[in-house]
Amino acid sequence: MKIAIIGQSLFGADVYKILRQNGHEIVGVFTVPDDAKGRPDPLASAALQDGTKVFKLKKWRDRNQVLKEVYDQYKELGAELNVLPFCTQFIPMDIIRLPKYQSIIYHPSLLPRHRGASSINWTLIHGDKKAGLSIFWADDGLDTGPILLQKECAVQENDTVDVLYNRFLFPEGIKAIDEAVKLIADTEEPPRIVQAEENATYEPILKKHNCQINFDQPAVAIHNFIRGTDKVPGAWTVLNGEEVTVYGSEIWRRDVPTGREVEVKDSGKPALVHQLGLLLYGNDGQTVNVKQLLLQDGKMIPAAKFGSVDREVTLTELSPEEQKIKASIQEIWKSILNQDLNEDTDFFKAGAGSMDVVRLVEELKDTAGIALHNDDVYMNPTFMSFVTAAILKSRGEGDATFQFNHVKIKANKMDLIVPHELFINNEFVPARSGATTPALCPADESVLCEVSSAQKEDVDIAVRAAKEAFENGDWSRMSHRDRGTLMFRLADLMEQHKEELATLESLDSGAVYTLAIKTHIGMSIETWRYFAGWTDKVHGNTIPLNQARPNRNLSFTKKEPIGVCGLITPWNYPLMMVSWKMAACLAAGNTVVLKPAEVSSLTALKLAELSVHAGFPPGVINVLPGAGRVCGQAIVDHPDVRKIGFTGSTAVGQQIMQSCATNTLKRVSLELGGKSPLVIFSDCDLDKAVRVGLQSVYFNKGENCISAGRLFVEEEIYDQYLRRVVDEVKKMKIGDPLDRSVSHGPQNHRAHLDKLLCYVEQGVKEGARLLYGGKRLDRKGYFMEPTVLVDVEDNMFVAEEESFGPIMVVSKFINGDVEGVTKRANATRYGLAAGVFTKDINKALRMADNFQAGTVFINTYNKTDVAVPFGGFKMSGFGKDLGADAINEYLQTKAVTIEY
């Protein structure tokens, strides 16, 4: 079909491309003149690249008469159909009716509702539950012609014009026009459904003069008005005598927070500036929260900063690579604005519009690989502020607008920026009570900072944020693959910051830096990447049923996320344990309220900071440092938390399970204590058995859930094995965990060190022989000598109970007594891990079959991988971390049956 396209913008350009791609002949394109900077409209650019005739018309008619030269140019093309995508000009009926099939127009509403130029805006302002688009036959009325086809979509509570346009009206509109043209080409009498006048609406075009907020209406109406004008033309009001435009509206369903009151013109109540924005009151006493404000000077700021002193973020020295980024941005700005730049050039004052914002963001992504959002342009409208935002993003520091209270720690030849407040809804906030706990460095007992300590009311706020994100937020509407993209992005940021994370882990938990960077941080990064790859592989099954003739039945299952999940993690691998649980939980589509260990929470808070830079929506990740008996218990008891994932002691695990059963009957997975046996036969590779035996006990200073809690050594090599072990232990260098030559750092905290010393004392008291160590080092910090307790009998306390420290507990077994040593190894209430060293593979596999443990190692130990499920038997708990099994811990199965 021969088609003339009359329209403009990227929408018009994409319509041009799809019609041409599908074999139609575009005989001409009619669009608007170049802008004041000489830039052609995107539709014109697309057509000119193909050599299609382009007409840039300032006007089509004069005194209601079509211009003769325009009519003649148009008629000469011989078009059979006019297609008007995003057409803002009035086209004379002489042109509309001339082609064989006349003209069709795209309109972004479900006609006859919302006729007129601001139809999308009014769809949202009226609070319509559904929106849509119409392709109609042009007539001499204003959007009154017969309907050819329509498509509709649901409107979400917080949709804005941009969101609705980008999610549905733009992509589906292009497809709809293509479908409409096919209908005309392939159908003898394509639909012409006359529009009913009943329920028809026509609203005026929105300009600044009719966009002032009316506060004499319910909060939901105020919210609809604000989102219906976001970003253009923008709803405005007067705060403290200053005219401001407001953006990013949402209904506030939480308790009214503490904050600073601001006078609002024509409102019965003052607004409230608080940590998460600005609250505005409706006449029903309900509130609306806005997140961004445009000031009279053209500067966009977070609403939470209104009236406060702005902290400018400036760049100091740029690397050669960052200089290239700056030059690339300069070229993009020049090409868009068509003018010379200085640091204060304002993107919008220089003539840029909303489509230029999209172009800037996309070109920056293509040329420099930096993914900013449209809001980043509005928040950083001057050239240098935008360069700053882009370079901070490239450094993994996000945009300049994400600011938070932090401490600076200089360590390991680097300056660490350390958040230390609760992380709720993508904001760092102090505990409501003001409570804090000191974060102590176990290497020198110094105070690193004061960390906010969450109480029950903080848990309530965090759970509400997580529930909102799960049920109504971007996370719930996001595709599985988009979730995976965010997780991959977070992993990349963790890798970029791995030296900082490892340093912080060493300072906060006492982990040796070399181990921290390889395992604590390295495996955390691997975990996020592994589960990011799982996000789009969660699916159910189809199930055959016995047929009830003559009908047939089909059943299928769906794997769905559970909802808000509470995660409680230990202090021995602060970041890795968080990652093991949280990555699987988020990959399944849930949201999280995390309580990291009270004594080692800093890397979890740093992870939260990086999640904002990665682009995670508010409420998806919430991190609440605090005491287990207060914060942890409140999470466990909360009725809106539907799953608990816990790693810690068996005693606490039992309390959690009891609470979950008594209060809300929520799902639980528990990874608890261990007393893992390692059996060493005389036919082993002795060098390897000594080396790995040491690692099995002293890895991460023994603060390791699968640490070999008891070694069984065959009588024939018992004395030789002990001699060699002690020789090696004496070579271990104990000291500052940031020293690269140190292999053994301090215990995590004072109470744990004291417990370990009592453990050794109890063992000796019951008859075990202290072969080496057993004392606290005479130096500052929580350092304990690696310890070897031998000749341990089965009835001793140290044979039955876990130390969770650098204490090797060794027992002898009779030569060749495979059955006896297996029985002794299993004679524990725990079942987390077990190991065996022997060159006899048949013996090894028989023992693996008989070990009552969730993980078994043969001729190795401590070898875990993100793809291998991890979890215990018996009183070591149930449920799995890692591997495909972990995803199922955070999913629930729904069965659907259809009869047809």
- Catalytic residue numbers, as ranges: 107, 671, 705
Say if residues 516 and 603 touch (Cβ distance below 8 Å).
no
539 vs 529: CA distance, rounded Å: 19
* 635 labelled binding-site residue: no
* 127 labelled binding-site residue: no
Q: How many CA atoms lie within 13 A of 165 on its CB side?
A: 20
* 90 labelled binding-site residue: yes
Omega before 550 cis (within 30°)?
yes
* 268 labelled binding-site residue: no
Say if residues 899 and 553 touch (Cβ distance below 8 Å).
yes
Q: 567: closest CA among 503, 489, 620, 497? A: 620
* 353 labelled binding-site residue: no
Q: State how far Cα 555 lies from the chain centre.
A: 33
* 615 labelled binding-site residue: no
- Between β-strands 591-595 and 621-623, what pairing exists: parallel, antiparallel or unpaired? parallel
Classify residue 612 by burial, with Cβ atoms within 10 Å: 0-12, 13-18, 19+: buried
8 vs 392: CA distance, rounded Å: 35
* 8 labelled binding-site residue: no
* 805 labelled binding-site residue: no
322 vs 328: CA distance, rounded Å: 10
* 628 labelled binding-site residue: yes
* 89 labelled binding-site residue: yes
User: Checking phi first, is residue 688 left (phi over 0); if not, alpha (psi -120 to 50) or beta?
Assistant: alpha
* 631 labelled binding-site residue: yes
| Paired tokens of 370 | 């930096």
Say if residues 342 and 383 touch (Cβ distance below 8 Å).
yes
| Paired tokens of 336 | 């868009």
Q: How many CA atoms lie within 13 A of 255 on its CB side?
A: 11
* 49 labelled binding-site residue: no
* 441 labelled binding-site residue: no
* 429 labelled binding-site residue: no
| Paired tokens of 481 | 């693959």
* 91 labelled binding-site residue: yes
Q: 416: closest CA among 310, 502, 494? A: 502
With residues binned 3-state (H G I as helix, E B as strand, rest as coil), the percentages for the chain, rounded to 5, are 40, 25, 40
**264: DSSP letter:** B
**32: DSSP letter:** P
Say if residues 20 and 50 touch (Cβ distance below 8 Å).
yes
Say if residues 621 and 592 touch (Cβ distance below 8 Å).
yes
List of E strands, 562-657: 564-568, 591-595, 621-623, 641-647
List of E strands, 266-425: 271-274, 277-281, 287-294, 300-302, 406-411, 414-419, 422-424
Cα 373–Cα 375–Cα 378 angle in degrees, nearest 5: 130
Omega before 334 cis (within 30°)?
no
Cα 468–Cα 474–Cα 475 angle in degrees, nearest 5: 80
Number of Cβ within a 10 Å radius of residue 515: 22
CA torsion sign, 471 to 472 to 477 to 482? negative
* 802 labelled binding-site residue: yes
For 594, list phi and psi in degrees, rounded to 5.
-105, 135
3-state secondary structure at position 670: strand
Contacting residues for 153 by C-beta, under 8 A, at least 6 apart:
130, 131, 132, 164, 167, 168, 172
Query: Could you tell me which residues are annotated as the binding site for NADP(+)?
Result: 628-633, 648-649, 755, 802-804
Query: Could you tell me which residues are annotated as the binding site?
Result: 89-91, 143, 628-633, 648-649, 755, 802-804
Query: Could you tell me which residues are annotated as the binding site for (6R)-10-formyltetrahydrofolate?
Result: 89-91, 143
